[in-house]
Amino acid sequence: MSLFASPSYPPVGYAASAPRQHAFNPYTDNGGSIIGIAGDDFLIMAGDTRHTSGYNINSRTEKKVFRLSEDSTLVLATVGFGADAKDIAETMRLAVNDFKFQHNLKNMTVQAAAQYLFTVLYGNRFFPKYAYCILGGLDKDGKARLYSYDPVGSYSKEGERRAAAGAASSLIVPFLDNQVEFKNQYVPGTNFTVEREVEYLPVDKVKKLVKDAFTSATERHIEVGDGLQLVTISKDGYQEELFELKKD
């Protein structure tokens, strides 16, 4: 008899008699989405305020955008596994505060904070913090800088003009591609040959885009909704607005 003819199935009840392994899963996904958009001299950071576990809504009012100190322009948005996300925000907040005391009350530059966040995330390379981060702030010339990270810390030192992460990022990213980077937009009358040139958008236009992105994501994604936390950083400092999103 060949091996193929008599496949050896485990005896009935085998699965039940074997020691049951119930491995602890240290991660979960708490849903939600975040967006960051850099203007020339301002920055918009936003996130919805829904916090979920599976199909349950834990809270409608958990914020995802964190101000890293009262007197700097540094703002961090995190999404993914809520406990890791908040831990990173707290680690960064402490680091920014500590830096100030260690350096004669000078605030961390946004570039330094960006590199530090990389160190934090990559430091956990072998037990990653399961959170996607978007970090932003104004540099010494008052220009907006925006960085986005994967859970183990990869980021672009050049920064970016817009970033989105979280549950509905796949819905939001193409929208921002088109509306912020003007992807697939052509100059009228050129028969799709001349691409529309990228330019910085004014603040009210950016706010509109962010609100549209979230209302649309709320329509299509069950983990996004309830409230929108919209943060503006400019020469006038930090400003936070809250808007309603659909609660269904």
Partner 1 sequence: MNHLPEAWGRPRDDVYGAYDHSHLRPSMPNQHTQEPIVTGTSVVALKYNGGVVIAADNLASYGSLARFSNMERLKQVGTHTVVGASGDISDMQYLFDTALEDLVIKEEYQNDGHHLRAKHVYSYLSRVMYHRRNKFDPLWNVLLVAGWDDGKPFLASTDLLGTTFSAPALASGFGASLAVPLLRRVCPDEESVAKISRERAIEAVEECMKVLFYRDARSTNKYTMAIVSGEDNKVDIEWKKDVELQKQSWKFAEEIRGYGAQIV
Among 48, 62, 160, 223, binds partner 1 (CB under 8 A): 62
The least CB distance from residue 58 to partner 1, in Å, is: 5
> Tokens 């072998």 — which residue?
126
Would you put residue 237 in left (φ > 0), alpha (ψ -120 to 50) or beta? left
Binding positions for partner 1, 112-151, rule CB under 8 A:
127
Per CB under 8 A, does 18 bind partner 1?
A: no
Instruction: Return all residues near 182 (Cβ < 8 A) that are at least 6 apart.
Output: 195, 196, 197, 198
CA distance linking residue 77 with residue 144, whole number of Å:
15
51 or 67: whose CB is closer to partner 1?
51
The least CB distance from residue 49 to partner 1, in Å, is: 10
Instruction: Return all residues near 112 (Cβ < 8 A) that are at least 6 apart.
Output: 99
Binding positions for partner 1, 23-42, rule CB under 8 A:
23-24, 26-28, 30
Instruction: Return all residues near 187 (Cβ < 8 A) that are at least 6 apart.
Output: 194, 195, 196
Per CB under 8 A, does 242 bind partner 1?
A: no
Which region among 60-68, 72-80, 100-108, 186-194 touches partner 1 (by CB under 8 A)? 60-68
Per CB under 8 A, does 66 bind partner 1?
A: no
